[in-house]
Structures are given as C-alpha cells and as structure tokens.
Structure 1
Amino acid sequence: MVLPAARAGQRLRVNGKLIPFSSWPTKIGPKGNASLQSLLFSLDPWAIIDQTIKTSCSAAARPEALACMNQARDFFEGAVDTQRVSARPLALYYCFMNLVKAFCLSRGTRPTFNKAQHGLSEMLRAPGNRELTDAFLRAFVSPNGSGDLQNFSEFMAALTGTGLAAIQDYDVPVLLPQILPGHRLWSSAANKKERFIAVHDIRPYLNKATRELWLNLYFVADDLSRIGVTITRFLAESKLGPAFVQVTCDEVDSASRELICFQQVAPIVCPNTKYANSLQSLFDSIRGLLWATVSTVPPYRRHYVYLRPASEDTQTLPQLLSIYILSYYLGSITRYRPHHFPAINDGVFGPRIQDFISGQAQQFLYLLASEFARREIAKPSIL
C-alpha cells in the first residue's frame, strides 16, 4: 500500500524551543496569554498537593480537603510498609479514596463529601464462582436516588468532565490488563499478547502560512510486528483512528529501528501567531488516549497507547480510574473476606496482584499530584 506523504510543515518551536508532549504544557497568565511550563521535580508530592489545596480550594471546603489529604498520607505509609502485608490492599484503597475526595474538593466539583459513599460494589457472577477471575465491580451514578454522592463517579467527573450516566459493571479480568506497570505479568499469566505499545515520540507541527497545528505520533515498527498487530488493528484498538492516519516516514530510533508515523487528520487553526495559546487544546486532543509511567530517569514520563478488543471498549477506563477501581476491589476483599486473599495470591495472577499492591501507591500519588497542580510532577533521580 502506498502511504500518503506527511503534511508539509515544521516542528513547532516556542521561544526557540522544541515542544515536548505534556498534559499541561502551558499556564495562563493574568493577561490571558499562555507561557510554557517545565517538568517540576519533587521528593515530596504531598507538599504540592497541600499547597494546591490551600491556594485553589474554596475556603469552605478547604478544612475537609486538608483533613482528607492528611488521612490519605497516613494510609499511604501503611500501603508502602512492607511489614504489613495483610493490610496493605486496604490501606492502599483508603489512601486513594481520601486523595480523590481532596482532589474533587479542590476542583470545586462538589462543596462537601460529608456523606459520600464508595460508589462501587464488588460481586461474583454466580454463587460458587472464584474471586478475581469471576468477579466484577458495579459502579453507581452520583448522586444516587437518596442524594448521596458516589466517590467513583465523582472522581470520573472531576477527571473527565462527565460522571456515569447509568449503572456500569466492570469485570475484574478486564481491568487487570489496563494497569500499565507490571502489564507483562498479566500477559504471561493470561497467555495473551501484550496490549500496551510505547509511544516513541509526540511532536507538534506547524504550517506558518495557514497557522495550522497538528500532532505526529511515532512508534517503533518492531513493537507492533513483535506482537502481530496490523496497522488497521492498531488504529482501531488504540482508538487513534480515524483521527490519525499513517503517513510516510523514513526515520529510525537511536538503535536504528524503523519508525512508523501517524499524523493527525484535522489540524487546529490558531487565531494568531501566539501558538503557545493553542498548545493545551492540541495536546488535549490526544491526552485521553494515553497512559503514562512516572520514573526517576529521563524522560521521567513515558507514554503508551492501550489496545483493547472491541468487546472490552465500554469497560476501558482512564488510567487513574482503572487503578482506583481495582484498588477498591482488593481493599474490599481484604476488609470483608480476608480469607479469600491468599487464594488470589496463590492463583495464576498472584504476581500481578502483588506487583499492583507494591507499585501503585507511588505511581498514583505522582500522577494525581500532577492533576492537582495541573503540571507534570516527577521524582528527581539524584538525592
């Protein structure tokens, strides 16, 4: 198949700098103009969350938000304490739950979570079914019929702008592969192909004559061929199509591996030559399709797309929501039926579950701290 040529343009530069992808590339100044934001390093993301609450949360909601944050931090210590193995899943969930309440209060989506409920219920498909492999989570609309807020749907609304429109069930086996760190443990246990494909680069391009901006996404060709994914399937299951199409590319990575380029079909037109003012909307066009890992080495954020079968599309959640809902399931088992947890750990997905419990506290904390601050937060590599 003959590929179309890439659209004519040049790499976008602002103040002479190439622009890397960021969920929050700019901040808006008092005159309404955008200025670039750099990556912010912090050994203590709790301090950033605390500062954000104090500066952005309403005065009425601030004491509640701060109390939730402080309790989340105490639960965090329990979640990362390797000596408290049996209680770690429960501590992990309550850490996340309190952080989520503080986040929603800071965003001003609700004035209080005083009588909020989990908004989730874990169940088995039928009596006698096995935990984990036959389990699902039912998520409820917020507020419910009695007017009580439901934490999960409220978190969804604060992150995405829209909560649940109706009761939704999420199968635990469908949630497991959506967790990025440790994904290959799931792939090995389930005897299935990997679903995450690393993004090699995300580049904004500009046509100065038309003031058009668009994105080019680059992937290593071997990453697709290694797991037998065709371009058509890749575009469909990553949800990049039809907004992106493959175009010609003659580039290679640092190891001389061939790259594939997908170009955004519909550019955005900037109203003037202050291109930084349009960066946020440009990057927002792809943000919902990306997963990220936070690391202590450059580039500090690595992005991925997730290939999901069509049958699982309605149960695929944004990254933070999938972490949150799975932590609820494991916390609920630990709290109400702890005798089932050893069987889960001894099962084929046991290493996947242990990896989740051990590794998600830091990931969730840094990712949500970034949401609080609306800026990429990373842990520095040298103390």
Structure 2
Amino acid sequence: MTRIEDKYGFPLFSKPVSIVNLGKNEKLIISDIWSFWDYVIKKVKNDKKGTGFLQSLLEQAKHFYQTAEDSPVKSQPLLYYCSFLNLAKIMINLNGKFGEDKIYMHGMSERNNKKFIDSVIIKQKKKEGVVQVAHELVSLFDPYVSESKLELNAKCMLNHCVGVHRAYSEIYNQHEIFVRVKSSSLFKHGKSIIFFAELQCTKQQMEFLNNIGYSVTVDDSGKCIYKESITISGQRPNRKEYASLSERIKEKGVWYYIGNSGYTLYLSTCSEHRYTQESIIYMMMFYLGSITRYHPYMFDRIFSDKEQWLMSEFLNTQPKQFLYLATANILGQSVLKSYSSF
C-alpha cells in the first residue's frame, strides 16, 4: 500500500472538470478574496459583455460585505445576504449560462412564526423563465437535495453548522453531533485508492456512524478508522477518479471548518438535516436578512436571550466561512486566506 498525494481539492472540493485552471490545481492561498474573484471572472469569461455583468455583481457583493463588517449586529444580516446573493449569481453563472438578460429571483421565502424554534425556511423549486438563485446555488452545494419545494425548520437546519455547533448544543442542551477527523490520508493498493480517516470517536459514536451508512472500524492499535475506496482504471488516479472518491465521501456526509491551520473535517452522528456549510449559511443569512428587512422590531422577540448570543456568534464567524468555503466549492480546489485570523 502506497501513500499518494491529495490534490484537485480532495477530499472536500474535487470536481471531474475544473471551470478554470488556477495554480496548477494546487491549494490556493490568497490575501484579497475580491481581487481574486475579479481575476477568476476575467479568466473564465472571454466576452466583454459577460465579464462586465459579473464584475458589476462582484462590485456590489464586495461593497455590501465590507459595509456589513462595520455595521451593528442587527443590521448585518441583510447586508451580508445582499453580498451573498450577488456572489451567488456569479457562481451559478460560472457553472451555467444564465446571463444578464434573465430575471433573477431569491428562490426562497421564510415564515418566522414569531419564534426561531418554529421558523421555517422555504427553498423554492425551479421555475421556467426565471432564475431561482437559491435553488441553483443549493443544487451546486447539495446535489442530492430534492429539486422540488423544500420546507426546512431553521433551528434544526442550524444544527449542522459546524462553526456555531458548540454554542448551539449548549443553548439547546443537546449532545454534540460532530466527530472530528484527527487526520486523513489517501493510499493506493493495486487498482484501488483508499481514503483513511482517523476519528476522535467513542464506541457509541462509532455505532451511530455505522448505523447511518459510514464504514468505521477499530484497527489493531485501537484507533477508530473511517474508510472509503474506489477502483481506478490506470496506474495513477486521474482527476475524475479523485472526484469520484470525493463524491462518495460527501454523499455519506462530511463537514468542515476553515481556520488558521487549514481545514478541520467532521462526520455527523445525526441523520437529519444533513446540509453543507455553504447551503446552511446562505439560507440562514436569507432568513436573518428577511427579519432585518421586514420585522426589525421583532428581532428581540423572535430570539430568546440565549438565541441572541447564538445569532451573534453566527454573524461574527460564518460570513467569512461562506466566502472562502463557497469559493473553494465552486472552483473545485482548496482556498485559504493568508495571514488572517478566522
């Protein structure tokens, strides 16, 4: 068994085909995400009209994001959502052919029901003649999610948001659902490539993981190991095969958080509301932005005192997570920010 290199964004972001070749498909470390996106747009789009449209969206996304960072907490959600909406339009246009002549709609609605625990976020189904931005974006991040209308309880959905999960578990008095991946590696054995992940895992958690479809065993040294493998066609795996193994891992479920030392990976013992970080953050920001826009006077009533702390944590940490994780997801390679504190 021979250890082989992780590349093409493996295991989190591998795609069969890249929409743009950047940095020889290696990990990208950047200091200015907005200038980087301007470069991506210019490299992908050859026509002047298409480039101008996407650059206008990028300018608005940047302005709304930077304004949100300097705004009071209760004013931030709508500004962040406006930024994400424009960035989302860029992302779906890089993966499809919509263009500036289309009618773009949010593709989401919400019912706050006067309490966060009862609030519902509705992802609309695809429509003819208009672009449902939320539908198109969530379909990129969560390709297994139903394309029909989807109603989600906001509180339950937030359970899988890694960056605020500890605060979430404390507030709602529940056990944490995430099992951390202590280390991972990729090996080749004959015609197989095998992903090994050592888990920080109890016996009960291992049972939970196996019950919902993972393959977790204990090795001779007592370590909990999660494995996934595929058969390859040649002597070395190609990009499509990296993507195929990555897809198998993501189909089972893997969550991640970007910090100063890179990406930390997790598996989940919870079988419900297993959406990606990118989808969760985008939909939650829409929900919070709608309250800010339509019911600002209800903010303190919808959220309990403890939940207001949770929302503050979310708004202080997750916008940057979305910015970098969504970029990596769309481009199909790891993206990190240089000299930055997350």
Structure-2-length-normalised TM-score: 0.87
Q: Which letter maps to 2:170?
A: S
Q: Which letter maps to 1:328?
A: F
Contact 2:3 2:188 in 1 (8 A): yes
Aligned residue in 1 for 2:336: 378
What per-residue deviation string (whole Å, max 9, x for no partner) do you get for residues 232-277 of structure 1? 322234xxx1xx42334134xxxxxx5201223xx42221112344
Instruction: Give the Å deviation of 1:302.
Output: 0.7
Aligned residue in 2 for 1:216: 196
Instruction: Give the Å deviation of 1:101.
Output: 0.6
Aligned residue in 1 for 2:69: 80
Identify unmatched segments of 5+ residues in structure 2.
none
Instruction: Identify, as 1 or 2, the structure richer in helix.
Output: 2
Choose from 207, 210, 234 the match for 2:209.
Answer: 234
Choose from 85, 99, 103 the match for 2:91.
Answer: 103
Aligned residue in 1 for 2:245: 282
What is the rounded CA distance, in whole Å, between the counterparts of 2:302 and 2:236 in structure 1?
55
Aligned residue in 2 for 1:7: none
Instruction: Give the Å deviation of 1:307.
Output: 2.6
Q: Secondary structure at the match of 1:275?
A: coil
Q: Is residue 2:281 matched to residue 1:323? A: yes
Aligned residue in 2 for 1:12: 3
Q: Which letter maps to 1:280?
A: A
Q: 1:136 to 1:26 in 2, by over 3 A?
A: closer
Contact 2:106 2:132 in 1 (8 A): yes
What is the rounded CA distance, in whole Å, between the counterparts of 2:10 and 2:219 in structure 1?
20
Instruction: Give the Å deviation of 1:338.
Output: 0.2
Q: Secondary structure at the match of 1:198?
A: strand
What is the rounded CA distance, in whole Å, between the counterparts of 2:243 and 2:316 in structure 1?
34
Aligned residue in 1 for 2:177: 195
Please list, as runs of the form range in 1=range in 2, the aligned pairs for 1:26-45 lying within 5 A after superposition: 37-45=25-33
Identify unmatched segments of 5+ residues in structure 1.
1-9, 30-34, 252-257
- Give identity over the alignment, percent: 20
What is the rounded CA distance, in whole Å, between the counterparts of 2:54 and 2:143 in structure 1?
20
Aligned residue in 2 for 1:261: 225
What is the rounded CA distance, in whole Å, between the counterparts of 1:199 and 1:163 in structure 2?
25
Please list, as runs of the form range in 1=range in 2, the aligned pairs for 1:1-383 lying within 5 A after superposition: 10-14=1-5, 21-24=10-13, 37-57=25-45, 59=47, 60-81=49-70, 83-112=71-100, 114-124=102-112, 129-143=113-127, 147-161=129-143, 164-208=146-190, 211-221=191-201, 224=202, 229-237=204-212, 241=213, 244-251=214-221, 259-264=223-228, 267-277=229-239, 278-288=241-251, 289-297=253-261, 300-309=262-271, 313=272, 315-381=273-339
What is the rounded CA distance, in whole Å, between the counterparts of 1:319 and 1:382 in structure 2?
20
Q: 1:290 to 1:112 in 2, by over 3 A?
A: farther
Q: 1:205 to 1:19 in 2, by over 3 A?
A: farther
What is the rounded CA distance, in whole Å, between the counterparts of 2:123 and 2:9 in structure 1?
36
Report how many aligned residue pairs link the two structures.
334
Greater radius of gyration (CA): 1
Q: Secondary structure at the match of 2:103?
A: coil
What is the rounded CA distance, in whole Å, between the counterparts of 1:174 and 1:89 in structure 2?
19
Q: Secondary structure at the match of 2:148?
A: coil
User: RMSD of aligned C-alpha atoms?
Assistant: 2.8
Q: Which letter maps to 1:99?
A: L
What is the rounded CA distance, in whole Å, between the counterparts of 1:286 and 1:47 in structure 2?
32
Contact 1:156 1:164 in 2 (8 A): no
Q: 1:215 to 1:162 in 2, by over 3 A?
A: closer
What is the rounded CA distance, in whole Å, between the counterparts of 2:9 and 2:81 in structure 1?
33
Instruction: Give the Å deviation of 1:379.
Output: 1.5
Q: 1:121 to 1:333 in 2, by over 3 A?
A: same
Instruction: Give the Å deviation of 1:11.
Output: 3.8
Contact 1:54 1:62 in 2 (8 A): yes
Q: Secondary structure at the match of 2:159?
A: helix
Aligned residue in 2 for 1:4: none
Greater relative contact order, per chain length (Cα 8 Å cut-off, separation 6+): 2
Q: Which letter maps to 1:246?
A: V
Q: 1:20 to 1:27 in 2, by over 3 A?
A: closer
Instruction: Give the Å deviation of 1:118.
Output: 0.9
Instruction: Give the Å deviation of 1:184.
Output: 0.8
What is the rounded CA distance, in whole Å, between the counterparts of 2:167 and 2:200 in structure 1?
22
Instruction: Give the Å deviation of 1:84.
Output: 2.8
Instruction: Give the Å deviation of 1:178.
Output: 1.7
Q: Which stretch shows the higher mean deviation, 174-183 or 337-346?
A: 337-346
Q: Which letter maps to 1:263?
A: K
